[in-house]
Amino acid sequence: MKSDFVGGVGSMHVSRSTARPQTVAQRRAKRRRLGGRPASLIAALALMCSSAVALAPASLAEDGDDSVSVTQEATPTSTPTKVTESVESVEPTESAEPTESEGGDSSPVITPTLTEQTDTAAAEASDDESDSSEQSHMAAEPLDAGVQAPVCTAGYVYALSANGQMQQVGPNGSVTNLGSAAPRVSSFNGLGIGSGGDSVYAYERSTSSGKSVSSAAVWKYDTATGTWSSTRASVNSNNSGGTIQFVAGAVSLDNGRFYLGGFSSNGNLFRIWEYNPSTNGITYKGYINTPGGSSRGTNNGDMAFDSAGNLFIVRGVDNQTTVFTITKSDLDAANGSDRTPITSSQSATVSTTSNVNGVAFDASGKAYLGASSAIESFNMPNWTGKQTFTTDVSSTDLASCSSPPTIEIEKEVIGGRVNSGDQFKLELKQGNALIGNATTTGSAIGVQEQRIGPLPTVRNVELSFSESAAGTTDMRNYASAYQCTVTHLDGTVQNLNQVNGTSGTITIPTTGEAVKCVFRNSPLTARVTIHKDVTDQEGKNPVAKQGWTVGESATATTGTVTSSPASTTQQTDVDGNASWNLNFSKYTDRATIKVSEATQDDYEFQSGQCTVTGLDGAVKTTELEGPDSTDLKGIAPGDQVDCSYVNRLQPSATLTLVKEVNNKHGGPAGVNDFNLAATPSDDEAISFKSGEKQDVDPGTYALSEADLDGYKQTSLTCEADGEELNVTDGSIKIAKSQNVTCTFVNEDQPGSVVWNKVDENGKALAGSEWKITGPEGSESAEIKVEDCVADNASACTGDDKDPVAGAFKINNLAWGRHTVVETKAPAGYKLSTTVHEFTISAKDLDYKFADAFVNEPSDGPVLPLTGGIGSDFYLIAGGGILLLGAGATAYAIKRRKATS
């Protein structure tokens, strides 16, 4: 900050560093280290200067966060003087018409004035008096470098000047500049701070189409650098929604989007736009009605969010303040319609402060209202305890990122109104002070559109709420109860017990974030409705049944109860309904009712159920076991009893066909692969799926199934109600009302393989051995086969069942892929290592190799096993004779040599 001293001692410049401001105690201690207070220091300097003709520039510096430098620019002409500081602050007023921008540095200018100093003690006393206001005098000093983001702790409030400077107001009211001012702006407004202080937005207002401040251009603050920049997104209310004067802005603490808006000229309407940072687009959301505005055009205000995304719009007219609330769900659902206003609620109007241009709430239950250079704090929810928070800001708007606790009162009408003009009035108070009220309208049942809040409030303070009659209501005709729900800061939801009555109290706990209390009203009656449906023979396609006799009778267990109509039975109407009203004398009365239905020929009871819904929404369900009377106990005023009976058209008989499949040999078929049918003697076949039950007429039915390759039916049995029926040539007789079940059993058949072993000339070769490898885990996983040579097949005891030499037939093979390979060749022949593959399947259950397996003769003299003498025999015999002759000759020669 910069200031020119004016007085006999000449003009001096006093400058301070941009470090974080110190406390009052720290600044006092610093002055003492300098030898006294600022007035004493300046007086001493003036005295020194008066004894010299000219002095070179000199400076005094103090270690620490603050530094003071004094530079003499002229020869002093007076005696020592006392210096006191007065703050000349700029006080722009936010209204429909923006003030002229001051330009340049927006920091408050400190202009010391010189007065005569005659007594040091007096100077100290005067300085002590000024200590009480010193924090506001030092308010415009900037934060430490790097501290650029807002703080979301309770007690911190942020103001915005018309020339774009954001200011932080601490819990003790100290004011510091946050970041630098937005460049080249003169009507900055609509400050909004997001959750955690991570996002900050505002807008520059301008005049369009001759309409003052009817346009807004959105700016964003960089919390890392402390600088503002334009998003280049703007809106002209003359072209979008309708002409308003922009005065408000806020960032939703729920979704992070920036909302901006303002009042119409008469203050009875407030329009809202939404800026989406992800798209850099602005969307018109809609408007709310804000009755009670001023036709003088003095409507001003601001808006703020809580952590749940509920929007609070605060309007100030003169010194009267009103809060309008839009719930998150209603704001999210707003689609920019100008035909229907966004649903909102309105608080009581209270006297606060004049010319409100900004609002902020915090988690401690405080509200802050800004009006130009002053910010005042209030205790919520009834705006009491007014205190001046600071008077040293240059503010067009306020914001915070701290969420207030909230309270909401709703109304739910259950079951309808006794009279069409019956309405209900809700009130919320703190002590005797009215915080808000609402009165229902229309004839809708369920949760009413009219509500109180949500409104900012405070924790650990008792609030009272009540409902009373409005319109034609007589509360004696209604059961009344309320239930409160507490949402805690950690997100857990606590449903308090429902209480009977028309008034109650609630205190938001320390851990509470939001409280919602709901009044539930129902006529002092219980209503019983019995509904009748009938279905077809399959138990499907239910339709309401008219003219069916149903019954209800009520007996009081506490107090009294009467039924209307008095008859205990009724015929169902065209919609299948019959209803009774149970009239109680007071809310504590209770009753037991009995419900029943009459039976009819050709129908049988299928199902039934009763649900009892209480005023608190709790539902109790009772299953009905039949048409006979069933007791429903504990019926209370306000209960809705809804019972339903379902009857099925009774068939003359039923038939169920069941399929069983035994895959002993690895067959793949399942029960649904077989087409089942029952053919009556005088009609076409009826198709069935396994397990399917169908209604049939009495008579004789031929039971059949489509053949499936590789499978064989092994049995067909039928039974009715546990007794076996005779099945003759696949046919059965079904009598009336019989429930018949027939079961087909099929089994997969094993496979076989055939091959032949021959020599190169096609002659059969006996004596070979083989190994068959089948599917893993099957009975034919591995089979060793020896060639059977016998008179007939019955004499073949091994796996080969073909008695002919060199011919093989192997039975009982599993379904699937197999291999066969020779393990021993016929005598005189080479072993064949060829692996022969084959597959047993439904289409190829008995597999036969088309070509015989051929063996080549071995190289050595082996007698064949084909039944004849081959040429090898002569070769072997001749070779033997030659060997014997050679041996005899050698022996004769040896003997001759020995005798000679």
Confidence band for 68, pLDDT divided at 50, 70 and 90: very low
Q: Residue 462 domain-assigned?
A: yes
Q: What percent of the chain has pLDDT over 90?
A: 67
Q: Over range 302-327, report the average pLDDT.
A: 95
Residue 462 in contact with residue 515, Cβ under 8 Å?
Answer: no
In a domain, 863, yes or no: no
Q: Are residues 95 and 161 located together in one domain of the fold?
A: no
User: Do residue 227 and residue 337 come from a single domain?
Assistant: yes
Question: How far is 358 from 218, CA to CA, in rounded Å?
Answer: 18
pLDDT at 743 (0 to 100): 97
Per the domain annotation, does 253 fall within a domain?
A: yes
Total residue count of the chain as it appears in this document: 900
pLDDT digit string (tens) for 656-701? 999 999 999 999 999 999 999 999 998 899 999 999 999 898 899 9
> Is the predicted pLDDT of residue 467 greater than 50, yes or no?
yes
115 phi/psi in degrees, rounded to 5:
-130, 160
What strand order describes the sheet that includes 433-439? 433-439, 422-430, 462-471, 503-507
Reported as type and span, the H/E element at residue 130 is: helix 120-131
Helix (H) or strand (E) holding 655: strand 654-662
Which one-letter amino acid corresponds to residue 539? G
Residues 159 and 243 in one domain: yes
For helices 38-50 and 120-131, angle between their N-to-C axes, nearest 10 degrees: 140
H-run or E-run covering 142: strand 141-142
How much is the average pLDDT of 420-448?
Answer: 95
Question: Given this model, what pLDDT does residue 266 score?
Answer: 85
Q: Taking residues 1-16, what's their average pLDDT? A: 32
φ, ψ for residue 120, nearest 5 deg: -65, -40
Confidence of residue 42 (pLDDT cuts 50, 70, 90): very low
Segment 202-214, tens digit of pLDDT = 999 998 776 778 8
pLDDT band at 143 (very low <50, low <70, confident <90, very high): low
* Least confident window among 525-529, 839-843, 868-872, 882-886: 868-872
Q: Is pLDDT above 80 for 535?
A: yes
The pLDDT value given to residue 693? 93
Beta bridge partners of 221: 200, 228
What does the CA dihedral 383, 92, 400, 404 come to, rounded to 10 degrees? 10
- Please tell me the predicted confidence (pLDDT) of residue 239: 84
Q: What is the CATH number of the domain that holds 293?
A: 2.120.10
Asked whether the beta carbons of 43 and 82 are under 8 A apart, the reply is: yes
Q: What is the CATH number of the domain that holds 591?
A: 2.60.40
Residue 582 lies in a domain: yes
Is residue 892 situated within a structural domain? no
Structural domain ending residue among the three candidates 649, 670, 689: 649
Residue that finishes a domain, picked among 484, 508, 523: 523
Query: What pLDDT sits at residue 59?
Result: 33
User: Cα(643)–Cα(593) distance, rounded to whole angstroms?
Assistant: 12
User: What does pTM read for this prediction?
Assistant: 0.53
- Has residue 176 got a pLDDT over 50? yes
Poorest-pLDDT segment among 213-217, 772-776, 856-860:
856-860
For residue 829, what is the domain's CATH number? 2.60.40.10
Question: Considering the domain boundaries, does residue 13 fall inside one?
Answer: no
Is the model's pLDDT at 45 over the cut of 80?
no
Residue 858 has pLDDT above 60, yes or no: yes
How many Cα neighbours within 13 Å face the side chain of 669? 26
453 and 563 part of one domain = no
Q: How many domains does the chain have?
A: 6
Q: What percent of the chain has pLDDT over 70?
A: 78
Q: What is the mean pLDDT of the chain?
A: 82
- Average pLDDT of span 395-410: 95
Q: Are residues 641 and 720 in the same domain?
A: no
Is residue 229 a part of any domain in this protein?
yes
Say if residue 588 is in the same domain as residue 636: yes
606 and 740 inside one domain: no
Q: Are residues 324 and 217 in the same domain?
A: yes
Adjacent-strand bridge partners of 571? 549
The neighbour count for residue 529, using CB atoms within 10 Å, is 15
**Hey, what are 690's tokens?**
């396994």
The residue from 482, 506, 523 where one domain ends is 523
Q: Mean of the pLDDT values across residues 485-505?
A: 96
What is the mean predicted confidence (pLDDT) over 475-497? Answer: 94
Q: State how far the Cα of 436 lies from the Cα of 583, in Å rounded to an integer.
A: 35
Return the pLDDT at 501: 94
Confidence of residue 373 (pLDDT cuts 50, 70, 90): confident
Position 652 scores a pLDDT of: 80
pLDDT over 50 (residue 358): yes
Q: Which range (12-16, 171-175, 600-604, 699-703) has the least confidence?
A: 12-16
What is the C-alpha separation between 309 and 249, in angstroms, rounded? 14
Do 352 and 433 fall within a single domain? Answer: no
pLDDT value of position 896: 52
Indicate the burial class of 580 (C-beta count within 10 angstroms; 0-12, 13-18, 19 or more): buried
Range with lowest mean pLDDT among 210-219, 462-471, 827-836: 210-219
* Token digits of residue 332: 């999210």
The whole-number pLDDT of residue 888 equals 53
- Phi, psi at residue 23, to the nearest 5°? -75, 170
Condensed to tens digits (0 to 9), the pLDDT of residues 610-638 reads: 999 988 789 999 999 999 999 999 999 98
Q: Which residue has the tokens 């076409």?
A: 684
Please tell me the predicted confidence (pLDDT) of residue 487.
97
Strand bridging mode 493-495 / 478-488: antiparallel
All residues at 6 or more sequence positions from 27 whose CB lies less than 8 Å from its CB, including other chains: 66, 134, 138
Say yes or no: 427 and 456 in one domain.
Answer: yes
pLDDT at 874 over 70: no
Tell me: the pLDDT tens digits for 91-138? 333 333 333 333 333 333 222 322 333 333 333 333 333 333 333 333
- Per-residue pLDDT at 76: 33
Question: Domain containing 532: what range?
Answer: 525-649
**pLDDT tens per residue, range 500-525:** 999 999 999 999 999 999 999 988 98
Residues forming beta bridges with residue 366, ordered by sequence position: 379
Local confidence band at 420 (pLDDT 50, 70, 90 cut-offs) = confident
Residue 866 lies in a domain: no
CB atoms within 10 A of CB 687: 12
- Distance (Å, rounded) from C-alpha 381 to C-alpha 376? 15
CA proximity to 695, closest of 637, 649, 661: 649
Using the 8-state DSSP alphabet, how is residue 800 labeled?
B
Reply yes or no on whether the pLDDT at 44 is more than 50.
Answer: no
Residues 514 and 559 in one domain: no
Claim to verify: residue 432 and residue 387 sit in the same structural domain: no
